[in-house]
Structure 1
Amino acid sequence: MAKVVIAGPRNFTNKEFIFSKLLELEILYHDGKDWTEIVEGGAKGVDTIAKQYAEEFSYPLKEFPADWDKYGKSAGPLRNQQMAEYSDVLIAFYNGSRGTSNIIKQAMQHGLTIHIIPIQ
């Protein structure tokens, strides 16, 4: 049983690529941890597509939107920490962006299983 964070940059919107990689990981991910919930940060790009994936495949969805008004520049890292504390697995579509780098770091610190999918 695994709560799976799906994260990546706001400017990456290739839904077909993201869906195909998620389906591939779901098929390969048979180490006793079936996906039970999709977790995402409520941003544009990969987060929005993660939400669509959850809806299309009937997964429960947990969204952690960043509260930029309350926390300013700390909102993104705080949201990432909350997602890492809540989840078991991270799937990161990664092109070197700061936000995705931060969620990878948080996932490592919290002992999540991490899958990094390089993107351009």
Structure 2
Amino acid sequence: MDSREWFLGTPYRVARQFENMADDSNTGAATVERLAGRDLNQDGKVINLVICGNSRFYDYQWLEEQLEQWIKWNAHPDLIIIGGASGVDYLAERWANNYAIPMAIFSEAWNEPRRGLEDTGRPEASPTLGDKMLEHATHLIAFPGPKSKWTTIMIKRARELGIPGVEVPTPPEGEA
């Protein structure tokens, strides 16, 4: 294996995409424009996966198991598209980072930055966030909770747009 072609087990041209992701001025929209529609993992399929869900859910192991099952039945995603909220969004960021999957995080849709794992007191994101996330999506996996207003909107909107989606309700024991 030529060290110039591979970096940490990842094709070098894919690993180079991560350089710009560390730049705080790089928005979710800009990342999607740059990476969406590309077969970054070179498996012959383009998967731009929107992950959304319950902002009060914090069971990483459960979420990881669900995402692994999704991959088993579909394919490995080339790009993860996330809204930048707490709960499922935060866990999805961690998961994508752990598996070196490029992400587009729409943190610019919020008036204030997320302060950590829990999202207390921050106003809702812009109402246009969902459409921006779905614009380049090929698939959606949603993890709604009992009070997941925006997740429900995302599921409905994805269906209207004809984007294949899976809805997996979060178990109550993972909620804060």
Length-normalised TM-score, structure 1: 0.86
Q: Residue 86 in 1 paired to residue 86 in 2?
A: no
Task: Specify every segment of 5 or more residues in structure 1 that has no aligned partner in the other structure, as ranges.
Answer: none
Match of 1:19 in 2: 64
Q: How many residues matched?
A: 114
Q: Residue 41 in 1 paired to residue 83 in 2?
A: yes
Q: Distance in 1 between matches of 2:159 and 2:56?
A: 24
| Contact kept in structure 2, 1:89 and 1:112, CA below 8 Å | yes
Structure with bigger gyration radius: 2
Q: Distance in 2 between matches of 1:105 and 1:68?
A: 25
RMSD: 1.7
Give how far 1:67 is off. 3.2
Match of 1:95 in 2: 145
SS of alignment partner, residue 58 of structure 1: coil
Task: Specify every segment of 5 or more residues in structure 2 that has no aligned partner in the other structure, as ranges.
Answer: 1-45, 113-122
Q: Distance in 2 between matches of 1:4 and 1:74?
A: 20
Between structures 1 and 2, the one with greater helix share: 1
Give how far 1:74 is off. 6.9
Q: Distance in 2 between matches of 1:73 and 1:93?
A: 18
Q: Residue 114 in 1 paired to residue 165 in 2?
A: yes
Between structures 1 and 2, the one with greater strand share: 1
CA displacement, residues 16-59 of structure 1 (integer Å, 9 cap, x when unaligned): 100000001101115xxx41111100111000111111111110
Return the letter of the residue paired with 2:79: E
Return the letter of the residue paired with 1:82: K
Q: Residue 55 in 1 paired to residue 97 in 2?
A: yes
If asked which structure has higher relative contact order (CA below 8 Å, sep 6+), I would say: 1
Q: Distance in 2 between matches of 1:60 and 1:74?
A: 22
Match of 2:51 in 1: 6
| Contact kept in structure 1, 2:57 and 2:88, CA below 8 Å | yes
SS of alignment partner, residue 86 of structure 1: coil
| Contact kept in structure 2, 1:85 and 1:110, CA below 8 Å | no
| Contact kept in structure 1, 2:54 and 2:144, CA below 8 Å | yes
Length-normalised TM-score, structure 2: 0.60
